[in-house]
Amino acid sequence: MIEIENLCKSFTLHNQNAAVIPVMAGANLAVARGECVGLIGASGAGKSTLMRMVWGNYLAASGSIYVGNVDVVTASPRQIIALRRDTLGYVSQFLRVVPRVPTLDVVAEPLLNLGVPADTARARAAELLARLNIPQRLWELSPTTFSGGEQQRVNIARGFAHPFPALLLDEPTASLDAANREVVLGLIEEAKARGAAILGIFHDEGARDRVCDRLIDVRAFTPKAAA
Amino acid sequence: MTDLSHTFAAAADKPLLQVKSLTKRYGARIGCADISFDVYPGEVLGIVGESGSGKSTLLSCLAGHMRPDQGEVIFETATGPRDTVQMGEAERRRLARTDWAYVHQNPRDGLRMGVSAGGNVGERLMAIGARHYGGIRDKAIDWLGRVEIDAGRVDDRPSAFSGGMQQRLQIARNLVTAPRLVFMDEPTGGLDVSVQARLLDLLRGLVREMGLSAIIVTHDLAVVRLLADRLMVMKGGHVVEAGLTDQVLDDPQHEYTQLLVSSVLQV
């Protein structure tokens, strides 16, 4: 479902004497349907960079990233928007929303964008929020005022609202208590069972051992000159 | 509304607006130069850049408020693609009343301050031929509700409204005729942050429900991050970078964009 071949990335910092910093070279990996692959490697090794290139908010220098039949590296912005609408989901570490929008609508939005009727979308959102132990009295409030753990759970609910065939998870269990961590791991296992291909970063080793089928150390993708 | 989303998805393969090599000079100075891009149905395009970068000139040329020196602005009208630059004034005005809408930065430029709120909304309807008073009034009240203005204020003049309410009224006045393309010049500029947020949410809902396309000129990167699908960065009258909004903001390639993004506290 996700196939990465010979992927390279460098940053050019124009405001620092046009310094060119190579960060990744020759990255190869594949994630099949129903499989969860964990990225490991020290902080700064390029785990998040790789995830962002798959999501399309970082541009690759060369190589290819197929998600389904779309190559994110060469796709037009419109193709990436369509891919994110129906195929590729992303649970980032940060919740980024329009302020003052109720939590229930934040979670329902990915479904509304797919043309799901508002009632159905909100019902699905309510189900996920309840499962993730967000108290119902908070559903009509904007998540911008929530605690870190609550925001993280809202983000997860939003990411799992639509059954995306491919999912990117950036530390989905960070800052969660044991009970909520369990709920999130359950959601990940269900997503795998329905055939989702998942690429994730998990610093939580217990979580990693439980849901990941394979681990890939991104240090193997570090450009040799910079190593 | 749900049926509508399917129809525009089907039509979405054809651009609604195609801009080709658009250039506008002010004497020897460049307003904007050699600008080309497409806008598709249901898409929001953000244009950012500092003041003087040519973004407002570009918007004025697109909306027919100013005549470009060169280039084409091809709009997909009901009867097929037409270059609006070559169009007669009367026909272009008709487009501006029906298929297009223009939301000014200052609501006073887009509203009639001496006419009631309901009248401001109803006027656009009458301009396209609506004549039944009750129907016009009902539709006006419906739209005031959508932009969260209490129906009890329908007979008040906009001069009695706060800045945020005036801006929402301007949006209602513009969208009541169900335009297909909305031009917005700093639509949230000069508003409180909390009012801005409400307006952003409103605009996003309208884009989703009505399938309209929008071109938004702003210098606020946080606004485009939340609202725009695609982004164009302008400097000195030229487009220096264009792409997916979060890609341009998170991994800017051009020197100027890198400077612009790094100068903002947090977007």
Strand, helix or coil for residue B43: coil
SS3 for A37-79 is EEEECCCCCCHHHHHHHHHCCCCCCEEEEEECCEECCCCCHHH
Looking at residues B68-83, what average pLDDT do you find?
94
Looking at residues A102-125, what average pLDDT do you find?
95
pLDDT > 50? residue A31? yes
DSSP states of chain B as a string? -HHHHHHHHHHTTS-SEEEEEEEEEETTEEEEEEEEEEE-TT-EEEEE--TTSSHHHHHHHHTTSS--SEEEEEEEETTEEEETTTS-HHHHHHHHHTTEEEE-SSHHHHS-TTS-HHHHHHHHHHHTT---HHHHHHHHHHHHHHTT--GGGTTS-GGGS-HHHHHHHHHHHHHTT--SEEEEESTTTTS-HHHHHHHHHHHHHHHHHH--EEEEEES-HHHHHHH-SEEEEEETTEEEEEEEHHHHHHS--SHHHHHHHHTSS--
Q: How far apart are CA A148 and CA A125, in angstroms?
A: 19
Looking at residues A105-122, what average pLDDT do you find?
95
- Interface contact A80, partner B, CB < 8 A: yes
Whole-number pLDDT of residue A191: 97
Q: What is the dihedral of CA A76, A27, B261, B240, to 10 degrees?
A: -40
B205 compared with B103, residue with greater pLDDT: B103
Contact A58 B43 (CB under 8 A): no
Least CB–CB distance from B258: residue in A14, A80, A112: A14
User: How many other C-beta atoms can be found within 10 angstroms of the C-beta atom of residue A224?
Assistant: 8
Contact B19, B13 (CB under 8 A): no
A227 band by pLDDT with thresholds 50, 70 and 90: very low
Contact A212, A36 (CB under 8 A): yes
Looking at residues B179-204, what average pLDDT do you find?
80
Measuring CA to CA, how many Å separate A162 from each of A56, A125, A175, B16, B101? 19, 10, 23, 29, 34
Whole-number pLDDT of residue B5: 43
In chain A, residues with a C-beta closer than 8 Å to the C-beta of B243 are: 59, 77
How far does A80 lie from chain B, in Å, by closest CA? 8
* Preferred mutation among B247, B248, B259, B262 to probe A, highest tally of A CBs within 10 A: B247
Q: Read off the pLDDT of residues A56-109 as tens digits, 9 standing for 90 and up.
A: 999 999 999 999 999 999 999 999 999 999 999 999 988 888 888 899 999 999
- The whole-chain average pLDDT of chain A stands at 93
Contact A100 B201 (CB under 8 A): yes
ipTM, 2 dp: 0.91
Residues above pLDDT 70, as percent of chain B:
93
Whole-number pLDDT of residue A225: 58
pLDDT > 70? residue B9? no
Looking at residues A99-122, what average pLDDT do you find?
93
Least CB–CB distance from A77: residue in B201, B229, B255: B229
Nearest-by-CA chain A residue for B15 = A78
Looking at residues B50-60, what average pLDDT do you find?
92
Q: Read off the pLDDT of residues B20-37 as tens digits, 9 standing for 90 and up.
A: 999 999 999 999 999 999
Looking at residues B171-178, what average pLDDT do you find?
89
In chain A, residues with a C-beta closer than 8 Å to the C-beta of B255 are: 14-15
Q: How far apart are CA B96 and CA B91, in angstroms?
A: 9
Residue A165 structure tokens: 């065939």
Whole-number pLDDT of residue B265: 63
Looking at residues B105-130, what average pLDDT do you find?
91
Q: Whose CA is closest to A221, among A48, A32, A80?
A: A48
Whole-number pLDDT of residue B78: 86
- Interface contact A99, partner B, CB < 8 A: yes
Contact A115 B5 (CB under 8 A): yes
Whole-number pLDDT of residue B210: 81
Whole-number pLDDT of residue B1: 38
Least CB–CB distance from A57: residue in B6, B204, B251: B251
Half-sphere exposure of A9 (CA within 13 A, CB side): 29
B266 band by pLDDT with thresholds 50, 70 and 90: low
A39 band by pLDDT with thresholds 50, 70 and 90: very high
Whole-number pLDDT of residue B81: 94
User: How many other C-beta atoms can be found within 10 angstroms of the C-beta atom of residue B49?
Assistant: 25
Looking at residues B77-81, what average pLDDT do you find?
90
